[in-house]
Amino acid sequence: MIALQFGAGNIGRGFIGALLNQANYEIYFLDVNENLISELNKRGSYIIELASEKKETITVTGVKGINSAKQTDKVIDLICQADLITTAVGPNILKIIAPTIASGLKERFKQSVQPLNIIACENMIGGSQLLKEEVRKSLTDEEKQKLDQYVGFPNAAVDRIVPLQTHEDPLKVSVEPFFEWVVEKTDIKGSLPNIQGITYVDDLNPYIERKLFTVNTGHATAAYLGYFKNIETIDKAVLDPFVRPILEGALAETGDMLAKTYHFDRSEHQKYIDKIISRFENKQISDNVTRVARSPIRKLGANDRLILPAKRLMEFGQKPENLATAVAAALLFDYKEDQEAVELQEIIKTKGAAAALKQYSQLDENDPLTKLILEKYEQLIKLK
């Protein structure tokens, strides 16, 4: 069986690749990073190290690399043969890889009616369905019908903390022991891929929202406030006396929102929150706040981990004081090596924070949430 994994980065190698290898797939990593690709082809394997006391290692074998920017013909040929396609490239990259996937599917439809599933493993709601819409843009009506008939785009939630890697070995990847991969059954074509570690569910929404609005909301809160306090790593940020209460407060707020939305048992959800905070405290992982805070424009998006839960809480009549503080801290994230942070600061400098919330979070100036965020923003500025 052949699996194509778009993105040979931290999660691609540190999580998806490991499970695909254990399920006996021949894995082709498709990436634009030539160094990664040549190393994968030179060695055909790589090491995963668990960030635990014992530092257990896993060797992932049977891997090859393709530079998807230069070897388009090979990518198209592989898409014709593939049994499964997965992605971990970043939400903003899905629209960039979609035309290549479409070109491959055009060829596949000429020679095969084998079902194929394409699973976007990105930190966003509806990633696979967004990729499907992008792929459809390059297809004829007849090809669109075949897409609907033979190709599944099941949404997924993936959870494993994989920080930036600092090993001499460019393929070695250190990861936390915990992992969770939840895939929605409904859009699967053919039989469910037999991959140990995947949990198949009928409705992904409760799972992706619980993950995104607990793990990623907590992570973003700790990262932006940690950066505000000049703290370098997440494990230190979550222990800081200024950051910790806001982190716990923000997760209490999203916990209330999720419980009201999905009727979760609140005490059970509190155990999920506590587990996640203990993952953040893991001293075996050195996770820079600048990685977790990366792409602030994406993270300030209307449907992302800070704004959506805050808006939903307001609709429930609850003021998201702590989430508003996290958003305010995101507006102060001015890390010069992060292109989105540079763009965000430019907008704030030239048009003001309210304009940035309007442009990036679709929040109107008169929205009560905007007012609350700007209040917190002014408070943080006074503390600087």
Q: How many CA atoms lie within 13 A of 126 on its CB side?
A: 7
At 268, which amino acid appears? E
Helix, coil or strand: residue 240 = coil
Q: Is 14 annotated as a binding residue?
A: yes
Nearest distance, CB of residue 59 and ligand 44H, angstroms: 23
At 177, which amino acid appears? P
292 binds, among ligand 44H, ligand NAD, none (CB under 5 to 8 A by kind): ligand 44H
* Segment near ligand 44H (CB under 6 A); pick from 92-100, 144-152, 202-210, 290-298: 290-298
* Segment near ligand 44H (CB under 6 A); pick from 153-161, 246-254, 333-341, 372-380: 153-161
Which one, 92 or 149, has the nearer CB to ligand NAD? 92
Q: Is 355 annotated as a binding residue?
A: no
294 binds, among ligand NAD, ligand 44H, none (CB under 5 to 8 A by kind): ligand 44H
Which run of H or of E encompasses 343? helix 339-351
Q: Is 3 annotated as a binding residue?
A: yes
* Region 122-141 residues binding ligand 44H, contact defined as CB under 6 A: 123
Q: Is 242 annotated as a binding residue?
A: no
d(CA 279, CA 265): 21
Nearest distance, CB of residue 156 and ligand NAD, angstroms: 10
β-pairing, 45-50 vs 57-61, is antiparallel
Work out whether 160 is an interface residue with ligand 44H (CB under 6 A): yes
DSSP string for residues in 67-132: ETTT-HHHHHHHHHH-SEEEE-S-GGGHHHHHHHHHHHHHHHHHH----EEEEE--SSTTHHHHHH
* Segment near ligand 44H (CB under 6 A); pick from 167-175, 258-266, 289-297, 365-373: 289-297
Burial-class residue 229 by CB neighbours within 10 Å (0-12, 13-18, 19+).
Answer: middle
Q: Is 178 annotated as a binding residue?
A: no
Site string for ligand 44H, 51-90 (x = CB under 6 A): ----------------------------------------
Work out whether 159 is an interface residue with ligand 44H (CB under 6 A): yes
DSSP string for residues in 280-337: HT-TT---BHHHHT--HHHHTSTTSTTHHHHHHHHHTT---HHHHHHHHHHHT---TT
219 binds, among ligand 44H, ligand NAD, none (CB under 5 to 8 A by kind): ligand 44H
Helix, coil or strand: residue 229 = coil
| Residue 45 backbone class (left: φ over 0; alpha: ψ -120 to 50; beta: rest) | beta
Which one, 360 or 377, has the nearer CB to ligand NAD? 360
Among 3, 37, 215, 276, binds ligand 44H (CB under 6 A): 215
Residues 6+ apart with CB under 8 A from 181: 15, 16, 19, 121, 156, 157, 158, 159, 195, 197, 198, 199
DSSP-assigned letter for residue 353: H
CA 349 → CA 10, 32, 293, distances in Å? 34, 34, 20
125 binds, among ligand 44H, ligand NAD, none (CB under 5 to 8 A by kind): none
Which one, 106 or 294, has the nearer CB to ligand 44H? 294
- Give me the residues that bind ligand NAD (CB under 6 A), please: 6-12, 30-33, 68, 88-91, 93, 96-97, 122-123, 158, 160-162
Nearest distance, CB of residue 329 and ligand 44H, angstroms: 15
Which one, 4 or 182, has the nearer CB to ligand 44H? 182
CA 301 to mean position of chain CA atoms: 14
248 binds, among ligand NAD, ligand 44H, none (CB under 5 to 8 A by kind): none
DSSP-assigned letter for residue 344: H
Annotated binding site: 3-14
Annotated binding site for NAD(+): 3-14
Residues that bind ligand 44H (CB under 6 A): 123, 159-161, 215-216, 219, 292, 294-295
